[in-house]
Structure 1
Amino acid sequence: MPDFDLNTTARLSPLSLTYYGLCLGNGNYIVKLHFAEIVFTDDRTYSSIGKRIFDVYIQGELVLKDFNIEDEAGGTHRAVVKNFTAIVATTNTLEIRFYWAGKGTQSIPYRGTYGPLISAISVDPDFTPPSEGGRKISAGAVIGIVASVLCVIFLILGILWWKGCLGKKSAIRLDLQTASFTLRQIKAATNNFDVANTIGEGGFEPVYKYGLLFDGTIIAVKQLSSKSKQGTLDFVNEIGMIAALQHLNLVKLYGCCIEGNQLLLVYEYMENNSLAHALFDFGLAKLDEEENIHISTRIAGTIGYMAPEYALRGYLTDKADVYSFGIVALEIVSGKSNTNYRPKADCAYVLQERGSLLELVDPKLGSEFNKEEAIGMITIALLRTSTSSTLPCLPW
């Protein structure tokens, strides 16, 4: 600052002057205090004998005691600069105080002019201030921020997976009016597929029983065996056909689960059990499109209940359910399991040719049955299972 300005302007107080620097960044600052005695004179008048003596505090610390501007500058109307280092920390505030402690002249040239006097103050940071665009972030801080964000992302994904919201889904999707269950829901309900919950096993492998629905409905879950060569296409084929079947006498499909390597069907549970524990694939012949006359697919069903054209060639028609019905009817009459019984001497068609259909009736019934009704039921069953003469006869 030019001496001319210092010799013409100053701030004066009878007792105390305090200056504050606000919103400063934490760090070291160089404080320059500019003084010039412009009240007292060097002439031989009474005003020349006055003495201005005061103290200076920076950040509450005494830095100048009994400071006399005239003595330090070597006369009046001469500039003198005092440099100090100040530390700004935590509060972001710099405090500079000038205080008269009662020393020196008190009434010359007149009362009130003997207190502290300051011409100018300059404060400069003794460090590299942050750029105008904002504070620079160190490489360590960047790495820490990135690591924290990744941890949060993985944590969220882990929570979603734990709740069953995430999982590997099959690429094959069908527009089915069925519910979708998560693998986590099914694992929790079946006690992680505990064998104690197994209620049967069909061509599509184990069937488990457990309560799942919110209304307390008990349902059955059919699981594709990990050893099975049939895959998602067969699973989707069964969903597409069975989901469309809605009949009082057919097991209802509630939904499915296609997640990871697990292919699961969720069925209505028959509390009174079925006619045979193996009848879990009844109803595979429902067409997925009405305009198709047949479906060619890999075999997925219980051997013994599938129509010959389906079992041998994978050729599925709308007659397959009719064939399965005939097999079930013969099982009811004979009391024999189609899947476990293989002798040919009492083959159903052989007995029909002999005119000995009543020999098919379950021996446990003795004579307590209506012969006409039995023959009628057997005849209907044989009509439902009628095949080409080139095919082996059914094992009855």
Structure 2
Amino acid sequence: MEFHYICNDCGAEYDSKHIIYRCPACSGKAAEGEMQRGNLRTIIDPAYLKSLADKKNLSPFDFFPYEIPTPQAYPVGNTPLLGPERLRKRYKVPRLFLKNDGMNPSGSFKDRASQLVVGQALHFGEQKVALASTGNAGSAMACAGAAYGLEIILFVPETAPRNKLMQSVLYGATVVPVKGTYDDAFGLSIEFTEKHGGINRNTAYNPMTVEGKKSVAIELFLQFARRAPEYVYVPVGDGVIYSGVVKGFKDLLDAGLIERLPKVICVQSTKSNAIAQAWESGEAKTIPAATTKADSISVASPANGRMAVDFINECKGWASQVSDEAIIEAELELCKEAGLFAEPAASAAWAGYKQDLASGKITPEAEAVVLLTGIGFKDMKAVEDTIKMPNSVEPKLDAVEAFLFK
């Protein structure tokens, strides 16, 4: 497939014959306190996209710039689209859907990006992938590495939560704890790749992390019988998932397979809201600190913030902000009313939808997909305080009856 890159910020174009990450012309030129510049958009050959309009058995792989060998080895995507009956009745929203991406191999949406990074690595004959992560991106890449026999070097700040790293270690990744911040680990992973080769999978830094995540848009198009839903709610931290979702629908539009872009809604915590603030103010500023309990979307300086803001405008969406309290309440409600255990970051999307519904920003009749990006087992600590485990009873029926009917 023919494709090239274009800088989201300065418009410079680059071919795809060699590995390229950020725009050499403007990367690193953001002033202090500004969101970084130079992230690249992947532009698929327009003639190729238009040829897909006549293809009957479409697949997300048809839209990928790199081939995915033996996809059954790492079966990403095709995740359930639920029609949550009890929630539909409770809120009188008959066209509500939940997309459960916690059912991916490592338990999160990040598998979508890692799948395409595998394709990129194998295309260039590379057997090593380096990245910095404290959570889902690391475990997703480690999972993919185990499936395809790639060496995964994962740089993490020494303060990274142990439970977030165990999955990566179990998959066989080489974990390198760094005495410093996430930014230190991020920079070190780039230095390592520049000196020792391989592919760098850092989120937003590698344009394939956006491109891989667009597969969910193609899936939704197919699950809705070859059309786009009206609204898609996305939990947002660094802006890569959001950008991937919109990019997928833009490719469908350019292929002539849909007539309009859905409104894709960016949902952030009020305690990690740099992209929402940038969209509202028109100024691409970072925030001093992100303190949300929704760990996977806790980002002060979004790595893909500028592109996400541009895409919000392009699809005529908006940014909604929800409190951490609303996020945890949403997580518990999804468990008890839909039988769906999503981590706090994923549950933010449901909280955002409910808030917009209550304010009238979206009507009960609107067709909306809430994207749930990670399984709840990823972050058990966030809900520990909401659970009270019962005391044991004697193995006698009267004791059970006293326990149940007291």
Give your verdict on TM over 0.5: no
TM-score under structure 2 length normalisation? 0.21
**Larger relative contact order, structure 1 or 2 (CA cutoff 8 Å, min sep 6):** 2
More helix by share: 2
More strand by share: 1
TM-score under structure 1 length normalisation? 0.21
